[in-house]
Structure 1
Amino acid sequence: MSSVRRVSHEFLKRQGLTTVFGNPGSNELPFLAGLPAGFRYVLGLHEGAVVGMADGYAQATGRPVLVNLHAASGSGNAMGALTNAVSARTPLVIVAGQQVRPAVGPEANLANVDAPALMKPLVGWAAEPACAEDVPRALAQAVFEARLQRRPTYLSVPYDDWAAEAGDNTLAVLDRRVERGAVPTAGQGRRLAELVASARRPALVLGGDIDAAGLFDGAVRLAERLGGPVWAAPSQFRLPFPNRHPLFRGVLPAGIAPVCAALEGHDLVLVLGAPVFRYHEYLPGRYLPEGTRLIQVTEDAAAAARAPMGEALVADPGAVIDLLTEQLGAPAAPRDPYRPVPDPAAGEGGRLHPEQVFAALRDEQPEDTAYVVESTSTSAAWWRQMDLRRPGSYYFPAAGGLGFGLPGAVGVALAQPDRPVVGVIGDGSANYGITALWTAAQHRVPLTVVLLRNGTYGALRWFGDLLGVPDAPGLDIPGLDFTRIAEGYGVAARQAGDADELRALLAERPDGPRLIQVDTVLTTPS
């Protein structure tokens, strides 16, 4: 008879979850024993970096990925990074070790008391099997829940369970298959098409789910048939539309009043693949302009249920895009050319303006480069200079939790070794996930990290002015040299002294990871 561990490994193999991101402790070792041929264990030196790497990897592949964490302490270390994965709707399957069953009740060292409660309400599903024989079934549920909900799941397994014998019924899990189909009914589709076709001045708002689901090009076709302006939803973590397309108006501001102002004059707002809305700054006002109707289409039933306004259809946005594209027929008008990029602003005092850095990336990197961005104070400069026309070109920490950028870039590069990947990271952000550089070096990940060093938490300085707190302490971080830090982790590193040197470095095509540090002037996010 097979062991619980052997059946579980076979199930994971059949489901394609053979890359494991982890930082193991003693409770996890029995699960990792005897990993079959074809499995790859990607070690991270901190659990936050582990989850960040897995987040980037799962987003880039579009498939669930396995994360192995240590009991309560390791799971707790990972929770900050997990907030980003939750907001990005990333299907992570987290399997954490637990003390042996007789030791949990007495709260022995490394026991995770009430383990599922620790991760709630972040994860979409959490459990600890009631007995060893139920572990493979519970593992399968964790995988299927992550895939169906597009949200992380969490399974705590006592480590003595892995060596237990699996019952005969346990083998039934190996051939399981669970799929989702969410096409609008004929009546729903007809009504939606009529509302869109009859709108005098429709607008389209696209969420990160559009890019995550591979609907980037379909969204362009729909927008060109609709002929109205297109926005990215507030607090964007993926780019769902080419940012220099003539119909694109940018990312909606993350406040109630400015969103209302932006949508003024539109009788219909169609929101695809996004919550309605993920506000940030508290700027109160009307949710929508007078006379504006909002229709949200999303697979996320929870997002549909909690929206404070409009009507929602819980369905596959891809099916709706296909339906409306067919119903609307040919494009409304010939497409104007893509908008040109303005000249970058100049730096001063020996420091480059971030726009100069981004202009260099735009000119020197291949057009299909994927950018993982965590430089929050330079958002305005980023969108002013970049020209992104390909799916999967942009990743950003979905919940705003710092520490995604470096690990996420490593994960994206591991998932797509044949596509150029660049991490654009601020010096404030870099420290949260710096250990990911070691993983990049160990796996020879073909990754370029452009480190923007301005010596301060620039976004916080902007917020200080916004909130009337100009004298908050703890905002400056002088004395950090990331070239030396990177070299200590085994990553080649250089300092770019001016724009020409930066462009020359970016034109090189190394076969492993590298870090380029650039000193920049302070800018604001908007």
Structure 2
Amino acid sequence: MTTIREATYDLLRSNGMRTVFGNPGSNELLFLKDFPEDFEYVLGLHEGAVVAMADGYAQATGRPTLVNLHAAAGTGNGMGVLTNSVYSHSPLVITAGQQVRDTVGQEVMLANMDAAQLPRPLAKWSAEPLAATDVPRTISQAIHMATLPAPGPVYVSVPYDDWEREADPNTHYLAKRTVSAAAALAPEQLAEIAEAIDAAKNPVLVLGPDVDAERANAHAVALAERLGCPVWIAPSPARCPFPNTHPLFRGVLPANVASINELLSGHDLVLVAGAPVFRYHHHRPGRFLAEGTELIHLSNDPSEVARAPFGRAYLAPVGDGLARLAAAVAPRVVTPGTGSTTAAGQAGASRAQAPAGVDRADRLHPDTVFRTIAEHAPEGVVYVNESTSTADSFWNNAVLEGQGSFYSPASGGLGFGLPAAVGVQLAHPDRRVVATIGDGSANFGITGLWTAAQYGIPVVFVILNNGTYGALRRFTRALDAGETPGLDVPRIDFVHLANGYGVAAEAVDTAEELRAALQKAFAGNVPVLIEARTYFE
């Protein structure tokens, strides 16, 4: 007899999903019974950290990743981080244990009432099978839903007694299924976009995280160089779709209407690829774009193209679209290193123009931290950044050149960065991951240190400790809110916290100490935490 559990593991195996991230409870134990030797279970001590680790792993591998949570409580604990998974298009397949099927309606202890409704509207799709024999098919549907355009997290609640039941004889067909998305720009659509670009006097590219997710950075570079046009990254980036050391790179667009209008003024055509139009954050209203500026939007997400308030949109794979456009548009002769003649473009053209911050006697400026990391990081380094108040310092000093070189929260929920770095490092054993995390953010995912220590995952965690929620302090200025409570988090000793979880750690407050700590960390192959004592301006 083949059980539902055995059939499900065969299904997961056939889809390359042999790494399971989880934090189990009693409802999940029968799923984990006789855990296959060819699978790996990665334990996290809090469901938020579990989802973040799986998210980082899924983004870095580009493959669907299984998350196993405990009933409604575990699902709820993970939903704060799930907001990031939605906007990063992470193909997470989240399963949660349900009580014994016959008792669910009685609302016994640990019953997940209206389970399919719980993760909505965050989950792309959610379900609870109506019969035990339908569990494998439902999970198969979840896997394909998670990976079809646009990718995203899905959720399946399974009554725990289902795992021991006998599978339907036809279940074996599921493991042999493949589902492929074949949509692409039609020839006439490609011609329309290429014609618009060729007719533009001063085009500009705005690139988003799906360029990196579709492994299309090289196509973006080819298109930009063929046009000789400037390249901006869309606001609040979760990934880096273009080398930030490239002469055509201009920076990251600010997340407000008026500033984007100002920076893109002078361009008659804006091509946005792999990003929403636009994810604003700070309220600075105004006209979306200057008079005479046209916007073309290329995205694989139906929701993104439908909800945008302006522009002409095309729903198609971003990577394929960029590659074909790079071959279709007419090449332009542009003076190397200029790209754009607009004042705004030239203002953001050189990272070297940004003045470096000055260290204090016992505190580092964030510029020093990111610059020193860039100087000592090995080739192919991957950054996972969740230090929201130091974004300018990061982009002015970090070197982001290769595919998959940067990951950051795609939404406003904290707790992604530290554990996500663990997942990214698991996905990239041949590269070194540096997690640059603010002291406020670190506390939301601190239990990720335990997983790094227990599994020997060699992330270099750099905590920028300035004793306050810096991003919120900036907002108090912008909103003229004055001094509000709950903004400071002083006297947290991350060295002792790390040691308690089994991670070697040290604190530094000078560039020389940071340099020595980084050299030692990169020379080893174990997780290390460096607490860099910084200050907030």
Q: 1:483 aligns with which of 461, 478, 495?
A: 495
The answer to whether the 8 Å contact 1:362/1:385 transfers is yes
Supply the distance in 2 between the matched residues of 1:327 and 1:334 (Cα, whole angstroms): 21
Q: Return the match for 2:446 from 417, 424, 434.
A: 434
In structure 2, C-alpha distance between the alignment counterparts of 1:130 and 1:194, rounded to whole Å: 52
State the match for 2:100 in structure 1: 100
1:281 maps onto 2:293 in alignment? no
Q: Distance in 1 between matches of 2:493 and 2:56?
A: 26
1:9 pairs with 2:21: no
Q: Percent of counterpart pairs with the same letter?
A: 53
Aligned AA (2:133): E
Paired amino acid for 1:402 = L
- 1:406 corresponding residue in structure 2: 418
Instruction: Give the conservation status (yes or no) of the 8 Å contact 1:203–1:270.
Output: yes
Partner residue of 1:503 out of 501, 515, 520 = 515
- Please report the TM-score for the alignment, with normalisation by the length of structure 2: 0.95
Give secondary structure in 2 for the equivalent of 1:105. Answer: helix
Q: SS in structure 1 opposite 2:425?
A: helix
Amino acid at match of 2:525: D
Any idea what SS the aligned residue of 1:151 has? Answer: coil
One-letter amino acid of the counterpart of residue 231, structure 2:
V
Cα deviation, residue 38, structure 1: 1.1
Give the structure 2 partner of residue 122 of structure 1: 122
Aligned residue for 2:40? 40
| Displacement after TM superposition at 1:35 (Å) | 2.0
Q: What CA deviation, in whole Å up to 9, does each residue of 1:198-248 have, x standing for no partner?
A: 111111100011111111111111111111111101111111111122211
Which among 389, 407, 419 is matched to residue 395 of structure 1? Answer: 407
TM normalised by structure 1 equals: 0.97
Aligned to 1:493: 505
**Alpha-carbon offset, residue 331 of structure 1:** 5.8
TM-aligned CA deviation for residue 334 of structure 1? 6.1
Deviation at 1:332, TM superposition (A): 3.4
Aligned to 2:482: 470
The amino acid that maps onto 2:500 is G
Structure 2 residue 369 is the aligned partner of structure 1 residue 368: no
Deviates more, 1:332-341 or 1:72-81: 332-341
State the number of aligned residues.
523
What SS class does the counterpart of residue 162 from structure 1 fall into? helix
**Could you tell me whether the CA contact under 8 Å between 1:85 and 1:152 is conserved in 2?**
yes
Q: Are the counterparts in 1 of residues 220 and 323 from structure 2 also a CA contact under 8 Å?
A: no
Any idea what SS the aligned residue of 2:524 has? coil
Moved more, 260-269 or 478-487: 260-269
Q: Determine if the alignment matches structure 1 residue 512 to structure 2 residue 513.
A: no
- Contact 1:14–1:174 (Cα < 8 Å) also in 2: yes
Aligned equivalents of 1:20, 1:388: Cα separation in 2? 30
**Residue equivalent to 2:344:** none
Q: Which amino acid is 2:192 matched to?
A: R
The SS at the match of 1:423 is: strand
1:344/1:385 contact within 8 Å kept = no
Gaps (5+ residues) in structure 2? 339-348
Task: Measure how far apart 1:12 and its partner are.
Answer: 0.2
Aligned residue type for 1:328: V
Q: Aligned partner of 1:297: which letter?
A: L
**Aligned 8 A contact 1:367 1:388 in 2:** no
Q: Per-residue deviation at 1:263?
A: 1.3
Match of 1:358 in 2: 370
1:249 aligns with 2:263: no
Contact 1:414 1:445 in 2 (8 A): yes
Q: Residue 238 of structure 1 aligns with which residue? A: 239
- What is the SS of the residue equivalent to 1:312? strand
Measure how far apart 1:339 and its partner are.
Answer: 4.8
Describe the superposition over 1:11-30 as per-residue Cα deviations: whole angstroms up to 9, x where unpaired: 00010000000000100111
- Structure 2: distance between partners of 1:387 and 1:489: 30
Superposed CA deviations along residues 458-497 of structure 1, whole A, max 9, x for unmatched, are: 1110100111112101111111010000000000001123
Q: Report the CA distance shift for 1:339/1:279 in structure 2 as closer, same or farther (over 3 A).
A: closer
Amino acid of the residue matched to residue 154 of structure 2? T
User: In structure 2, the residue corresponding to 1:72 is in which secondary structure?
Assistant: helix
Offset of residue 330 of structure 1: 4.6
User: What corresponds to 1:347 in structure 2?
Assistant: 359
Matched letter for residue 388 of structure 1: L
1:292 pairs with 2:293: yes
1:455 matches 2:467: yes
Out of 380, 383, 400, the position equivalent to 2:395 is: 383
CA displacement at 1:174 relative to structure 2: 1.4
Structure 1 gap ranges (5+): none
- The 1:85/1:340 distance shift into structure 2, 3 A limit, reads closer
- 2:536 equivalent in structure 1: 522
In structure 1, the residue corresponding to 2:164 is in which secondary structure?
Answer: coil
1:30 alignment counterpart: 30
Cα 1:334–1:443 shift into 2, 3 Å = farther
Indicate if the aligned counterparts of 1:204 and 1:231 stay in contact, CA closer than 8 A. Answer: yes
Residue of structure 1 equivalent to 2:158: 157
Q: What is the rounded CA distance, in whole Å, between the counterparts of 1:310 and 1:251 in structure 2? A: 20
Please report how far the alpha carbon of residue 326 of structure 1 lies from its aligned counterpart in structure 2 after TM superposition. 0.9
2:80 aligned with 1:66, yes or no? Answer: no
For the Cα contact (< 8 Å) 2:227–2:331, is it kept in 1?
no
- One-letter amino acid of the counterpart of residue 176, structure 1: R
Residue 118 of structure 2 aligns to a residue whose secondary structure is helix
Q: Secondary structure at the match of 1:180?
A: coil
Tell me whether 1:79 sits opposite 2:79 in the alignment: yes
Deviation string, structure 1 residues 443-469 (Cα, Å, up to 9, x no partner): 111110111111111111010011111
**AA matched with 1:449:** F
Compute the displacement of 1:340 (Å).
6.3
Partners of 2:333 and 2:8 in 1: how far apart?
53
Q: Which residue of 2 aligns with 1:303?
A: 304
SS in structure 2 of the partner of residue 119 of structure 1? coil
**Does the CA contact (< 8 Å) of 1:496 and 1:518 recur in 2?**
yes
- CA–CA distance in 2 between the matches of 1:10 and 1:335? 54
* Contact 2:195–2:329 (CA under 8 A) maintained in structure 1: no
